[in-house]
Amino acid sequence: RKVLIVYAHQEPKSFNGSLKTVAVEELSKQGCSVTVSDLYAMQFEPRATRSDIVGCLHNPEEFNYGVETWEAYKRGCLSSDLVEEQKKVQEADLLIFQFPLYWFSMPAIMKGWMDRVLVQGFAHEYPDCYDSGLLKNKLALFSFTTGGSREMYSKAGVSGDIRYLLWPMQHGIMHFCGVKVLAPHICFAPELVSEEKRKEMLIAWAQRLKTLWKEEPINCSPEWYFK
């Protein structure tokens, strides 16, 4: 099995860095082929620009990023960094996204990866979206840390149910592209707990990874997020 970990944290010694390392080690032990796209280390460009198209534009009179990347994908004229990431996605059975929650979402560098890599023609092509999306034979898992406590991200908490925040990421991006989504792995407020508790979080992640391939995807419907 092949796994792509898309990782967004500036510091290798961070808790997110440790979660990423645990995933690489545990999945490698299982015999998986693991590739990591370390977005900060790669200095990945998050901006969707004209530079993503090599050569002439489809319509040089008026730039439309979605149309131009779609046409460029069909012609084999996307920039080399996008082609490389798309190749990693294409080969992967499982995509793991590892990141700290920023403002109820993923860091900008990871959102830029989504914006630039998952172009029309490669990841989706209407009406081939959601259950018939072009990446329908793949699994995805969002593993992330929060600044706030579990209680804050409950229905009764000040931040609301954590599932609400997952709707645009899991449903609006992954499920739209046909990817089946496993339950998220959330480490709540690692900076606010003891070193012992952080170690327990890492052990729990390693334990989950041992049986990950036996898990069933979540029911990707509005009910899962908003019930």
pLDDT(227) > 90 = no
Structure tokens of 78? 């996307």
The pLDDT, as a whole number, for residue 79 is 98
CA 125 to chain centre: 20
CA-CA-CA-CA torsion for 204, 210, 215, 217, nearest 10 degrees?
70
As beta bridge partners, residue 128 has 125
As a whole-number percent, the residues of the chain with pLDDT over 90 amount to 98
Band of the pLDDT at 220, cuts 50, 70, 90? confident
pLDDT band, residue 176 (cuts 50/70/90): very high
In the chain the domains, ranked by start, together with CATH numbers, are 2-226 (3.40.50.360)
* Both structure tokens of 111: 């959102």
